[in-house]
Amino acid sequence: IFFFFSARAVHEYLSGAPYSDYQNSMYFDRFLQWKMLERQPITKDTFRQYRVLGKGGFGEVCACQVRATGKMYACKKLEKKRIKKRKGESMALNEKQILEKVNSRFVVSLAYAYETKDALCLVLTIMNGGDLKFHIYNMGTPGFDKDRVQFYAAQICCGLEHLHRESIVYRDLKPENILLDDNGHIRISDLGLAIKVPEGELIRGRVGTVGYMAPEVINNEKYAMSPDWWGLGCLVYEMTAGRSPFRARKERVKREEVERRVQEEEEEYNDKFTEDAKAICRMLLTKDPKQRLGCNADGAAGGKAHSFFKNINFKRMEAGIVDPPFVPDPRAVYCKDVLDIEQFSTVKGVNLDQTDNDFYSKFATGCVPIPWQNEMIETECFRDLNVFGPQGTRPPDLDWNQPPEPPRRSLLDRIFRRHVSKIKRATKRATRHTPACSHVERVNPTARTWGHSLR
């Protein structure tokens, strides 16, 4: 209560004379400059496009780079006709809006959203270290040692906590959706099935991936955040055992049989599991969501307090200063060869109209402020551009009494203008020595147009 009243008093004071002084200062003018830059239109020309990294539900995912800053991202393309054919408009917009809301170092960030003639594009955090499925099954003996399992499980727990804090249930936790960055930290990706749960309510929806869906989801019962804690249990089990809890690796079994096992059978534990690992898996894979770890009033705090995480300092983890137990080799490629990624077939018989354009306008909103601001800081653009005059005086670009400086001409501009000048000089000489002016008329219009277009 004391903090609440103190915060309100500070807010009331700052909103008075200090805020008025700020609005009249050069710092507010500089703030407006940055906001104008942040809100500039975003198009495909904002980026350079590189190799295909994989496939999403509606199109390819490729690497891209912001031309102005050099920052690398992953561009997830959602083909417009494919979205319309599958009636995926609400799903695509939902993912985009949820990504905008979440600002977590454990969940991929959305930096830009724009459209091209054929696709809607989400520009996301690039994760070059591959996904957990690749690391579990393609890097030697399936599974990880206990230190890696603890580290990844702790970071996933933090990511779920941040999503749940925004009342978002993820609903698709599986190894393919957990990605590693260059330094070995993980992020939750692909929020296509995530949904915001209205406050004080429960939702129903039989969505997810076979083998990872919680019993309450399979039974089409109402739930809130409980499916995510079940998914964490499946992940801890699979990272440890090198197989999922209810289906062996490459086992050919029908969906109905897997769902029966989830509902009726208990998972088995081998000697790879420590007592703490067994205990947390059993508590997370409890069939009754009311008894499941993480589903009580304490939420994620209950999971973090489990003895399985006794060696994890969660405050340092949240700050990003815990060293990962595994760092990807920057020379290795932790994904399929580009030739192994199946190509999408052409969508036929689908026509786009004005109602589609209304949907696209809601999707293509440009920059997302916090990731864009972080990009400016990380690439040192902010340091290079945020310059004031000597001894903190107002710089020329913020002095409204001075005319703006003319834009600097590029090297190409100077070269072409020099070439145009030579043509003009040659033309004058030709005029003096040639009675007829037909040659001059052929040369001069080109020279004038060239010079004008470059200016």
Could you list the pLDDT tens digit for every one of the 455 residues in the chain?
778 889 999 999 999 999 999 999 999 999 999 999 999 999 999 999 998 888 777 788 999 999 999 999 999 999 888 888 888 888 899 999 999 999 999 999 999 999 999 899 999 999 999 999 999 998 889 999 999 999 999 999 999 999 999 999 999 999 999 999 999 999 999 998 999 999 999 999 999 999 999 999 999 999 999 999 999 999 999 999 999 999 988 888 899 999 999 999 999 999 999 999 999 999 999 999 999 999 988 889 999 999 999 999 999 999 999 999 999 998 887 776 554 555 555 666 677 777 788 888 889 999 999 999 999 999 999 999 999 989 888 888 888 887 777 766 655 565 556 554 555 555 555 545 544 433 333 333 333 332 333 23
Please report the pLDDT score of residue 429 as a whole number: 56
Q: Looking up tokens 């270290």, which residue turns up?
A: 129
Q: What is the C-alpha separation between 145 and 437, in angstroms, rounded?
A: 86
Assign domain 44-127+342-378 to a CATH class. Answer: alpha beta
Q: Looking up tokens 């004379």, which residue turns up?
A: 17
Catalytic residue among 131, 172, 181, 228: 172
129: exposed, middle or buried (Cβ count in 10 Å: 0-12, 13-18, 19+)? buried
Query: Does 182 participate in catalysis according to the annotation?
Result: no
Count of H-run helices and E-run strands, the chain: 18, 10
Please report the pLDDT score of residue 392 as a whole number: 85
Please report the pLDDT score of residue 349 as a whole number: 62
Please report the pLDDT score of residue 421 as a whole number: 58
Q: What is the C-alpha separation between 86 and 51, in angstroms, rounded?
A: 26
Please report the pLDDT score of residue 362 as a whole number: 87
Model pTM score: 0.82
Q: What is the number of alpha carbons within 13 Å of residue 245 lying toward its C-beta?
A: 30
Q: What is the C-alpha separation between 232 and 266, in angstroms, rounded?
A: 16
Number of Cβ within 10 Å of residue 276's Cβ equals 16
Measure CA of the first residue to CA of the last residue in the chain; give whole Å. Answer: 63
Number of Cβ within 10 Å of residue 399's Cβ equals 14
Q: Is 85 annotated as a binding residue?
A: yes
* Domain ranges across the chain: 2-38, 44-127+342-378, 132-333, 411-454
Please report the pLDDT score of residue 437 as a whole number: 39
Calculate the CA 381 to chain-centre distance.
21
Please report the pLDDT score of residue 436 as a whole number: 42
Assign domain 132-333 to a CATH class. Answer: mainly alpha
Q: What is the number of alpha carbons within 13 Å of residue 186 lying toward its C-beta?
A: 28
